[in-house]
Structure 1
Amino acid sequence: MTQRTVDSSLDVTFDVLGDGYRRRLLVTLSEREPRHATDALDSAENAEARIDVRHRHLPKLVDAGFVEWDRETDELWRGKHFDEVRPLLELLSTDDDDDRL
């Protein structure tokens, strides 16, 4: 693997993990799958936030390969690259300070 590919992969990972909602969703998926997208949407505070989840957060997780999303059944499960991000999720979730997530 070239340095450029590694850098690009790290950039994608840190970009995805840069949002608290996406981190919490990935941690939740690490504990149990499949999940329904509507479960994740329940945590969204208003209609605008729910739209943001469906049109920004979930597609970004899918594009990175961390999440698979069946829009017809609304199910979410770990994507083909989920195991690449799992160690970072475990590190973040072992801290008692929930604000890190």
Structure 2
Amino acid sequence: MTLDEQLSVLSNRHRRRLLMALAQRTPQPDRLAPSRALAADGGDEEQTDQTIAMQHVHLPKLADHGFIDWDQDAQRVTRGPRFDEIEPLLTVLGENQDVLADRGVPN
């Protein structure tokens, strides 16, 4: 996978938050409820919209790329078979979060 493709996947903050949450939890495999990665800034309606987007757009996209395994019935996400391909980029983003935030790049 090219860097452009990885950056495209990480271009959405909800996908970034979910992958960062998985990257920060060790040892593997880690299980994460997708709703924990959503920190809605708005009210219930925004939370509902984000949950729908997560289930119908973001989780399928991450699963299609192999970065996550998603158990829809249990609403659990684990690191996928290709997670190690994007983990170095997640590490760089995590280590530079303060610098990037100062430049207006949302987490």
Shorter-chain TM-score bucket reads 0.7 to 0.9
5+ residue gaps, structure 1, are 1-8
Q: What residue in structure 2 maps to residue 13 of structure 1?
A: 6
Structure 1 segments, 4+ long, off by >3 Å, are 97-100
Q: Which amino acid aligns with 1:91?
A: V
In structure 1, how many angstroms separate the alpha carbons of the residues matched to 2:99 and 2:75? 31
Q: Cα distance, 1:40 vs. partner?
A: 2.7
> Which range moved further: 29-38 or 56-65?
29-38
- The structure in which a higher percent of residues are helix is 1
Q: What residue in structure 1 maps to residue 62 of structure 2?
A: 61
User: TM-score, with normalisation over the residues of structure 2?
Assistant: 0.76
Q: What residue in structure 1 maps to residue 81 of structure 2?
A: 80
Question: In the alignment, is the contact (CA less than 8 A) between 1:67 and 1:77 conserved in 2?
Answer: yes
Question: In the alignment, is the contact (CA less than 8 A) between 1:68 and 1:79 conserved in 2?
Answer: yes
Q: Specify the SS of the correspondent of 1:93.
A: helix
Q: Cα distance, 1:98 vs. partner?
A: 6.2
The aligned length equals 92
Q: Specify the SS of the correspondent of 1:35.
A: coil
Question: In the alignment, is the contact (CA less than 8 A) between 1:12 and 1:64 conserved in 2?
Answer: no
Q: Which amino acid aligns with 1:22?
A: R
Question: In the alignment, is the contact (CA less than 8 A) between 1:13 and 1:64 conserved in 2?
Answer: no
In structure 2, how many angstroms separate the alpha carbons of the residues matched to 1:89 and 1:53? 19
Q: What residue in structure 2 maps to residue 5 of structure 1?
A: none
User: TM-score, with normalisation over the residues of structure 1?
Assistant: 0.80
Q: What residue in structure 2 maps to residue 36 of structure 1?
A: 33
5+ residue gaps, structure 2, are none
Instruction: Calculate the aligned-residue CA RMSD, in Å.
Output: 1.6
In structure 2, how many angstroms separate the alpha carbons of the residues matched to 1:68 and 1:82? 10
In structure 2, how many angstroms separate the alpha carbons of the residues matched to 1:75 and 1:81? 17
